[in-house]
Amino acid sequence: MSLIIIAALPFLGALLPGLMIRAGRDACAWTTASVTLTALVGLLVHAPAVMRGEVIQYQLEWMPLLGLNANFFLDGLGLLFAGLILGIGLLIIIYARFYLARQDPMGQFYTYLLLFQGAMVGIVLSDNILLLLIFWELTSLSSFLLIGYWKHLPEGRQGARMALAVTGMGGLALIGGMLILGNIVGSYDLTVILENKELVQASPHYLPALILILLGCFTKSAQFPFHFWLPHAMAAPTPVSAYLHSATMVKAGLFLMARLWPVLAGTPEWFYIVATTGLITMVLGAVIALFKDDLKALLAFSTVSHLGLITMLLGFGTPFAAVVAVFHIINHATFKAALFMSAGIVDHETHTRDIKRLGGLRHLMPVTFIIVTVAALSMAGIPLFNGFLSKEMMLDAATNTVWNGNPWILPALATLGALFSVAYSFRLIVHTFLGPKRTDYPAKPHDPGFGMWASPALLAVLVVLIGIMPALMVGPLVAVASGAVIGGDLPYYSLKIWHGVNLPLYLSITAVVGGLILLALHRPLDAAWTKARRPEAKVIFDAIVGAITRGAHGLTDGLHNGAMTRYTAVFIVSVTALGAAAWFGGTAPGPTRAAIDIGVVPLIGWFLLVGATACMVAFHHNRLLALVLMGIVGLIVSIAFVYMSAPDLALTQISVEVVTVILLLLALNFLPKTTPTESSKARQWRDGTIAVIGGLAVGGLALAVLLSDFSQDSISAFHLANSKPGGGGTNVVNVILVDFRGFDTFGEIIVLGIAALVIFAMTESVLTSPVGARLRQRPINPDQAGDRHPLMMVIATRVMMPIALMVGVFIFLRGHNEPGGGFIAGLVVAIALLMQHMASGFDWASARQRFPYHTIIALGIFAAALTGIGSWLAGRPFLTSNYGYFQIPPMNKFELATAMAFDVGVFLCVVGAVMLALESLSRFAHRAGERPSPYPMDIDPSRDSAQMAKDA
């Protein structure tokens, strides 16, 4: 089975639980299990080759220009972690079937679980760090859903938010570090990066990359000071805790440290950052775990401690310590998953996880007692269980490691961590299961059915088998996985129970004896711990989040106060300042060609433009006058386009001006005719100064561009050279719009359609509000309004209608080779339709409309999209144009291009958007009791003209 299929199977399988739950809970569970089992079998098919030292690879180009490819590889380390993810995942799926209550949405749970499983498998199999980052963030998102699965619990929601916040911030740091790492090597493929240790460690960017990567790893694996999120995530259902926090999510950081060990380890920076952080986390987590009364809280902090242990081993930077870290990853996954599931069984049967309310359960739950005892003894590092082996090897590695010149600091603190580990492990057994039976259990305890205890029992069996026969059970897997971590020859190590009488053995005995003493003194120590004042991570986190939230609100409220003048001022000042810094601090060349002499006519036009703009600023309170002045500005700009040989832009500008003025005139009919003075004199001077500076900056930049020559390699030269041979048109502007930059135009017409729909939605909401009633009941001055439908205008517009349509068709057809095109033609036709509405009235024009404007917009976008999809069918990129020449006697040879179909879409979208905006505004013109339907097809066109005129 291909690696990409193994990685994709959980994602594809996530579609099934939501469907299969309709067939029953069993069908849902076994379907989910079959997905994971299939992926596990596919992985095991490759296991023999990997155990022989081969590396299985799969490569697929995805976005090669960005360096993002769907590359996967499977070596010993990937086999170990993928096996844990899928193997324990299969056990969790079976366990969850019997754990979840009937009211819990099981289909939703299994969907989230498979999404998370797929993300984890993607991380451990990725051969591309960009792809790995995608999967990394998916684990944060999917774990958020799993931790907050019980949405009715406030602590569940808070735990999910906390986990997402901490791991999400770490993920951002990881992205930066991985990008730096890829930039150092010049490749984003892991297999390439792992071969360039010297290049990476010699780079001046090694330390920033290391710190950022470790931040991502530490937050994901709950290392100090980011350890606090893990215990709060225990509000999730026990199957989530058993899966995420024993074998998968919290080990993602460990995996990445192990994966990058060959290129990042071996430096003092690595040793002191990683080893010290792991050591602190190991001891701190073990101390806190001893004083937790909640079973899952105890296990959570014990997980934090063991994650710190593994991190410390990886931080030592020695091959032997790396082998021990790999071995303990296996051991920890087995006994901790079994313990979490057993804690869930206790909670499920007794309805409490409070150790102080338990005790004596060995008499009532003997099967659970055996499972917990075996797993807890392994966690304590007692002989004949697998935890003992890796603990002994850890102490051996610590005794041979010097920290800051002192050979005793590491072994002493490691022994202290092991001592507390023994104490909380035995407390879990003694205080929960030993002692006399109680009579005040919240519910009558008993062992559950086989389905619930089968999964932890299997793991407990593995704990014993690995503890007795380590070399046989996991020896080859440890060797091949450790070889992948080290990237070279394996050191000498021995997976056996007895290593003789040595210092690690004495330290281990000390830990066991000291742990039992701590357990005997637990009551007074617990009282002292409760009374002691100590920082609470949750309180600190909430305070930090609260401070950040208040700061964000203050900043947001200060900047986003609803005043467009402030937004515009900030934008203009920022852009001008940045532009000035770039201009004066850069290497921009001076003018390379002389300015053209200014004639009298352009000079007059310039004065008119400046005068109209100044008048618009001075008289902007008079809205009608401001609209007239705006039209003058647009007209002069259109003339300037003609003067500068840009007829396409001139046609577009003048058409847009006409449409805009007509629509704004209609809108002004429902607004006050003047606006009040809104700014003080000081603010007016400030705004005027900013506007002048911004205008001078833009004018200066435009002048610099006009006085500069462009090389033949510029984009404009490319368009000029390829417009005819590549796009089949001599009108370069139109070819750019419908071919070279067709995707941009496609997005623009979608935005135009959305804008029209927003106008429609806003007017529809206003019409149903008290504002709409006031608008429909507003008084009209007949002396100022005059004749609503002047006869001369009615006759003129109806005569002009076919002519305008013919002009629109002509402009549309000539657009590929001469000034014109679908956008301008759409505006011309829209103007003709606007005139009909203005002359004859909204009802008269709407009664003759055969297609809703919503449909016209949709048809336009559909036509444009269909044209682009047609390029795919021809094996070419989306929206690639094609053309040919045809001759039909007696006509001359003519050209046809597929861009014409795209232009039809632009035409329809423009017409539909303009007319929908007009229709939306026109509905305000109806009197009280005459509110029209938003769909003009509801108007009966069979009414006679006289009646319709009377109605109008």
8 A C-beta contact, residue 71 and residue 131:
yes
Q: How confident is the model at residue 938 (pLDDT cuts 50, 70, 90)?
A: very low
Backbone angles phi, psi at 16, to 5 degrees: -85, -40
Window from 254-263, 581-590, 782-791 with minimum mean pLDDT: 782-791
For residue 884, what are the β-bridge partners? Answer: 896
Q: Residue 936: what pLDDT?
A: 40
Q: Is the dihedral of CA 21, 26, 27, 32 positive or negative?
A: positive
Choice between 475 and 894, residue whose per-residue pLDDT is larger:
475
Please tell me whether residue 98 adopts helix, strand or coil conformation: helix
- CA 140 to CA 156: how far, in whole Å? 15
Q: Residue 255: what pLDDT?
A: 94
Q: Residue 775: what pLDDT?
A: 65
Q: Is the pLDDT of residue 939 over 50?
A: no
Read out DSSP for 21-75?
GGG-HHHHHHHHHHHHHHHHHHHHHHHHHHHTT--EEE--EEEGGGTEE--EEE-
The token pair that represents 361 in the structure block = 């359960």
Q: Is the pLDDT of residue 932 over 70?
A: no
8 A C-beta contact, residue 343 and residue 296:
yes
Instruction: For residues 914-920, give the mean pLDDT.
Output: 86
Q: How high is the mean pLDDT of the chain?
A: 86
The burial of 935, by beta-carbon neighbours within 10 Å (0-12 exposed, 13-18 middle, 19 or more buried), is given as middle
Q: How confident is the model at residue 897 (pLDDT cuts 50, 70, 90)?
A: confident
Q: Residue 66: what pLDDT?
A: 77
Instruction: For residues 715-742, give the mean pLDDT.
Output: 82
- CA 820 to CA 828: how far, in whole Å? 10
8 A C-beta contact, residue 330 and residue 478:
yes
- CA 178 to CA 123: how far, in whole Å? 14
295-307: per-residue pLDDT in tens?
Answer: 999 999 999 999 9
Instruction: For residues 106-117, give the mean pLDDT.
Output: 93
Q: Residue 779: what pLDDT?
A: 63
Q: Residue 711: what pLDDT?
A: 60
Choice between 332 and 438, residue whose per-residue pLDDT is larger:
332
Pick from 359-368, 560-569, 717-726 the range whose average pLDDT is largest. 359-368
Q: Residue 945: what pLDDT?
A: 41
> Which of 247, 260, 209, 253 lies closest to 227 in space, CA to CA?
253
**Chain-centre distance for alpha carbon 287:** 37
69-97: per-residue pLDDT in tens?
Answer: 888 999 999 999 999 999 999 999 999 99
Choice between 536 and 374, residue whose per-residue pLDDT is larger:
374
8 A C-beta contact, residue 908 and residue 916:
no
- CA 719 to CA 147: how far, in whole Å? 54
Q: How confident is the model at residue 617 (pLDDT cuts 50, 70, 90)?
A: confident
Choice between 561 and 182, residue whose per-residue pLDDT is larger:
182
Position 266: which residue type?
A: G
Instruction: Give the DSSP H or E segment for 883.
Output: strand 883-886
Q: How confident is the model at residue 883 (pLDDT cuts 50, 70, 90)?
A: confident
Question: Among residues of the chain, what percentage have pLDDT more than 70?
Answer: 94
8 A C-beta contact, residue 321 and residue 314:
yes
Q: Residue 948: what pLDDT?
A: 39
Question: Among residues of the chain, what percentage have pLDDT more than 90?
Answer: 41
Window from 32-36, 421-425, 558-562, 770-774 with minimum mean pLDDT: 770-774
Q: How confident is the model at residue 677 (pLDDT cuts 50, 70, 90)?
A: low
8 A C-beta contact, residue 465 and residue 473:
yes
Instruction: For residues 21-47, give the mean pLDDT.
Output: 93
Q: Is the pLDDT of residue 62 over 90?
A: no
> Which of 146, 250, 155 lies closest to 538 in space, CA to CA?
155
Choice between 556 and 377, residue whose per-residue pLDDT is larger:
377
- CA 746 to CA 734: how far, in whole Å? 13
> Which of 222, 18, 43, 47 lies closest to 108 in space, CA to CA?
18
Q: Residue 133: what pLDDT?
A: 94
- Rounded to two decimals, the pTM is 0.72
> Which of 295, 242, 235 lies closest to 92 in space, CA to CA?
242
The token pair that represents 20 in the structure block = 């299969």
- CA 825 to CA 728: how far, in whole Å? 20
Cα–Cα distances (Å) from 829 to 143, 655, 756, 836, in that order, read: 55, 10, 17, 11
Instruction: For residues 24-51, give the mean pLDDT.
Output: 93
Q: Residue 318: what pLDDT?
A: 92
768-779: per-residue pLDDT in tens?
Answer: 777 766 666 666
8 A C-beta contact, residue 936 and residue 919:
yes
Read out DSSP for 568-629?
HHHHHHHHHHHHHHHHHHS------SPPPPP-HHHHHHHHHHHHHHHHHHHTTTBHHHHHHH
Q: Residue 928: what pLDDT?
A: 40
Q: Residue 363: what pLDDT?
A: 87
Instruction: For residues 508-536, give the mean pLDDT.
Output: 89
Q: Is the pLDDT of residue 950 over 50?
A: no
Q: Is the pLDDT of residue 929 over 60?
A: no
